[in-house]
Amino acid sequence: LDHFVSVEDLTNEEVLTLIKRASQFKKGTISAQVMEPLYAVNLFFENSTRTHKSFEMAEKKLGIEIIDFEPSTSSIKKGESLYDTVLTMSALGTEIAVIRDSKEAFYTELINSPSIKCSIINGGDGTGQHPSQCLLDLMTIYEEYGHFDGLKVAIIGDLKHSRVAKSNMHMLKRLGAEVLFSGPTEWMDDSFTEYGRYAALDDLVYEADVIMLLRVQHERHESYNDALITSYLDQYGINELREKNMKPSAILMHPAPVNRDVELQSSLVECERSRIVAQMSNGVFARMAILEAIIAGRTKNKTTL
Ligand code: CP
């Protein structure tokens, strides 16, 4: 891989190879270390715990040198653009830039620049895509079922504002899963019907193999809807009653952070069928597989700085 910015750029075969490689890292049946110094910078212009810190952990496990970057003390504060920041990091010798930014498709101008030599990894672009989250989610489902074909995966909640939902609906459909949607209808978009059908939550809990909850993204809403949030768990969330109605083998997922007692009753966050903690752990291994594929691509292309 030259860059890792959108699931649309990945073939099914590449996704399955990355999942298998990530699982091998997890089992410890393989390990990888860079052979010569390689430098990465993690540029997070939106808040993050899991994505930022699991990329950092993955980089450390692979022996990659991390160049510290703190937006609040950088020249971003003097008005420097993302493009000029990445151009600078590239000129300094950074080979990989993991970036999260609120601007959708921020990566387009970076990967098309003849001057920027860094490989770009998208750590989340506004409401666009979250491809590394998608990979760790797919890995978590694959660990459970060993395939995607015919699995019923329900994606529930703030679909409209969720980059996780957009990456996942695309890849799950392409890999043969049946995608179902639920949640407030004002957060449904006509474009999603290409990937799956909308169903009432109390109907789909009985049939889903995977229930994937989405965080209510207050920061992307125009105003705080107190009435909706107060009644959200009862209307659109998974509470203990709905959890009991799930198929015995079905699993619960959430990209986290979880708004406890909103999308999911707090007592269920670590319940037996919850894979939320596994998702966080898998994030490290999925990101190791992504970094390894990027490094292999750079070596193949003999990119020099
Ligand atoms: N799931 C996820 O992207 O979490 P962070 O925002 O903490 O990175």
Q: How far apart are CA 172 and CA 147, in angstroms?
A: 11
Closest protein CA for atom 6 of ligand 1: 48
Q: Do 273 and 188 fall into the same domain? A: yes
Distance (angstroms) between ligand 1 centre and the Cα of 49 equals 6
Closest-lying ligand 1 atom to the alpha carbon of residue 100: 8
Q: Can you give the pLDDT at residue 304?
A: 42
Q: Do 61 and 21 fall into the same domain? A: yes
Encode pLDDT of 103-137 as tens digits. Answer: 999 999 999 999 999 999 999 999 999 999 999 99
Cβ atoms within 10 Å, residue 145 = 15
Domain assignment present for residue 220? The answer is yes
Encode pLDDT of 24-48 as tens digits. Answer: 999 999 999 999 999 999 999 999 9
Residue 158 has pLDDT above 90, yes or no: yes
Domain assignment present for residue 240? The answer is yes
The confidence band for 146, taking pLDDT boundaries of 50, 70 and 90, is very high
Is residue 54 lining ligand 1, measured as CB closer than 6 Å?
A: no
Per DSSP, what are the bridge partners of residue 260?
A: 264
Q: Do 289 and 271 fall into the same domain? A: no
User: Which residue segment(s) compose the domain that 143 sits in?
Assistant: 131-280
When pLDDT is averaged across residues 272-284 and rounded to a whole number, the result is: 98
Is residue 259 lining ligand 1, measured as CB closer than 6 Å?
A: no
Tally of domains in the chain: 2
Q: Do 187 and 111 fall into the same domain? A: no
Whole-complex ipTM: 0.99
Residue 164 has pLDDT above 50, yes or no: yes
Q: Do 109 and 169 fall into the same domain? A: no
By the 8 A CB rule, do 252 and 274 touch? Answer: yes
Annotated binding site for L-aspartate: 78, 163, 215
When pLDDT is averaged across residues 55-73 and rounded to a whole number, the result is: 98
Domain assignment present for residue 223? The answer is yes
Is residue 256 lining ligand 1, measured as CB closer than 6 Å?
A: yes
Residue 291 has pLDDT above 80, yes or no: yes
Q: Do 79 and 218 fall into the same domain? A: no
Domain assignment present for residue 2? The answer is no
When pLDDT is averaged across residues 251-267 and rounded to a whole number, the result is: 97
Distance (angstroms) between ligand 1 centre and the Cα of 177 equals 24
Q: How far apart are CA 111 and CA 100, in angstroms?
A: 15
Domain assignment present for residue 72? The answer is yes
Encode pLDDT of 177-196 as tens digits. Answer: 999 999 999 999 999 999 99
Percent of the chain with pLDDT over 70: 98
Q: Do 196 and 268 fall into the same domain? A: yes
Q: Can you give the pLDDT at residue 302?
A: 55
DSSP state of 63: T
Q: Do 34 and 135 fall into the same domain? A: no
Q: Do 163 and 119 fall into the same domain? A: no
Domain assignment present for residue 184? The answer is yes
Q: Can you give the pLDDT at residue 253?
A: 98
Q: Can you give the pLDDT at residue 54?
A: 98
Is residue 299 lining ligand 1, measured as CB closer than 6 Å?
A: no
Distance (angstroms) between ligand 1 centre and the Cα of 304 equals 32
Q: Do 74 and 186 fall into the same domain? A: no
Pick from 44, 45, 51 the residue to mutate for probing ligand 1's pocket: most ligand atoms within 8 Å of its CB. 51
**CATH number of the domain enclosing 205:** 3.40.50.1370
Q: Can you give the pLDDT at residue 222?
A: 77
Q: How far apart are CA 263 and CA 229, in angstroms?
A: 9
Q: How far apart are CA 176 and CA 181, in angstroms?
A: 16
Closest-lying ligand 1 atom to the alpha carbon of residue 130: 3
Output the CA–CA distances (angstroms, integers) from residue 99 to 85, 122, 195, 247, in the order listed: 11, 5, 27, 38
Domain assignment present for residue 305? The answer is no
Encode pLDDT of 208-232 as tens digits. Answer: 999 999 999 888 887 778 878 899 9
What angle (nearest 5°) sits at the alpha carbon of residue 83, between those of residues 112 and 43?
110
Q: Do 102 and 175 fall into the same domain? A: no
Domain assignment present for residue 101? The answer is yes
Percent of the chain with pLDDT over 90: 93
Q: How far apart are CA 27 and CA 232, in angstroms?
A: 38
Q: Do 276 and 219 fall into the same domain? A: yes
Q: Can you give the pLDDT at residue 303?
A: 45
User: Which one, of 281, 235, 233, lies nearest residue 260 by Cα?
Assistant: 233
